[in-house]
Structure 1
Amino acid sequence: MGNIINEIKEALAVLSIPEKAEFFPKFFKTGKGEYGEGDLFLGVKVPDQRIVAKEYYSKIDLKELGELISSKYHEHRLTALFILIHKFEKTKTAKEKEEFVTFYLNNLPYVNNWDLVDSSCYKILGRYAFENRQDELLRNLSNSEEMWYKRIAVVGTMYYVKKGNFELTKEFVTYNLKHVHDLMHKANGWLLREMGQKNENELINYLNKYYKDMPRTCLRYAIEKLDEEIRQDYLKGRI
């Protein structure tokens, strides 16, 4: 097992940029009491991680991947998720897809920052739930007390939105509309905006019912792509 893991870690180490390693802890809020507290960074850019993932996804099994995704280094975990996405998208068997989803769910504690969540959840869990009519996989996470799980749930509905199915997104946004953390406000607003890109009337109808109760950040994200006059009407409460 160690050989392939060491190869991946060495490949990432070579791509490390000292300036990025210094910047990322601040960008991802790793200070005491912040949402990424204690996370460690090598300083590898995302496109470079994707290249490594593409090179190694067919060479590593899930047991080995479990070692990589549980690493204390952020880039190891994100690269592991990119590898898992490749495996999930490349397989043609339902059994393997289920195994990959189970692996993802079993390793949720390591999907613990917004980029880890947003890069992976809808491509794996959201797609699987949609294609297999297993909304409860996402609903259980939305109902969790863990903020990252709630974000996984709502961002996971991106796959539904892309398919023109909006009900689960609206359900999760409404349920967590008053969540205390701005990372949920941003996620909720983002998914509403994506819904509006697909069907503006769906967004308008939702906003007309809930916009006065939305945190300001959520509202700003949700209305970002609307015409300026309509945006101002919502921002100034004229609707």
Structure 2
Amino acid sequence: MNNWDIVDVSAPWMGVYLTEVEDPMPLLIKLSKSKSLWQRRVSIILTFALIRAGDLEPTIIISEALLKDEHNLIHKAVGWMLRELGKKDVMSLRKFLTNHSHQMPRTMLRYSIEKLPERERKKWLISSKR
């Protein structure tokens, strides 16, 4: 995989495999620590299938692991998966934001709060200013 389009189209389908694995975390953690931008992006996008299956913890763990990643494509992917997590359980998203919004890159934060009510989005943007 060598571009965001291939990763974003294929990873959610590959993630279905992870819903049947007893413990997907070793693979996800290994990918999240890779020097390869694409493997790091895959690590978070793979969690989409787990979110759909109701397993939110891997998304939270990998999002935390990628918080300080410097690449904008990682910021967008993590924000996207956090937004998806929030669709499943908004309280889990709010807890993550409470713990991490102050250290989240702006793009990641904006993507993650996109589906929240406007007043709440403004609150998170204001409270996260460094």
**Which range, TM-score by smaller chain?**
over 0.9
Residue 144 of structure 1: aligned partner: 34
C-alpha contact (below 8 Å) 1:122/1:158 kept by paired residues: yes
**Are positions 1:237 and 2:124 aligned together?**
no
1:130–1:139: structure 2 CA closer, same or farther, 3 Å change rule?
A: farther
2:21 aligned with 1:122:
no
**Any idea what SS the aligned residue of 2:101 has?**
helix
Q: TM-score, normalised by structure 2?
A: 0.93
Please state how far the C-alpha of 1:138 moved relative to its aligned partner. 2.3
For residues 53-202 of structure 1, the aligned pairs below 5 Å read 111-124=1-14, 126-135=15-24, 136-202=26-92
User: 1-side partners of 2:57 and 2:19: how far apart?
Assistant: 12
Q: Is the 1:112–1:148 Cα contact (8 Å) retained in structure 2?
A: yes
Q: Number of residue pairs matched? A: 127
Moved over 4 A (4+): none
Aligned mate of 2:98, from 191, 196, 208 = 208
Gaps (5+ residues) in structure 1?
A: 1-110
Alignment check: 8 A CA contact 1:129 1:137 kept: no
More displaced, 135-144 or 148-157?
135-144
- Contact preservation (8 Å) 1:129, 1:138: no
1:139 positional shift:
2.2
Q: How far 1:151 sits from its partner (Å)?
A: 0.4
Identity across the alignment (%): 40
Q: Distance in 2 between matches of 1:230 and 1:146?
A: 35
Cα displacement string for residues 23-69 of structure 1 (whole angstroms, at most 9, x for unaligned residues): xxxxxxxxxxxxxxxxxxxxxxxxxxxxxxxxxxxxxxxxxxxxxxx
For the pair shown, the structure with the greater C-alpha radius of gyration is: 1
Rounded to whole Å, the distance in 1 between the matches of 2:93 and 2:12 is 20
TM-score by length of 1: 0.52
Matches within 5 A, 1:14-25: none
Q: Distance in 2 between matches of 1:160 and 1:229?
A: 29
Deviation at residue 140 of structure 1 after TM alignment: 1.4
| Greater RCO, 1 or 2 (C-alpha within 8 Å, sep 6+) | 2
1: distance between equivalents of 2:13 and 2:27? 14
Task: Tell me by how many angstroms 1:129 deviates.
Answer: 1.8
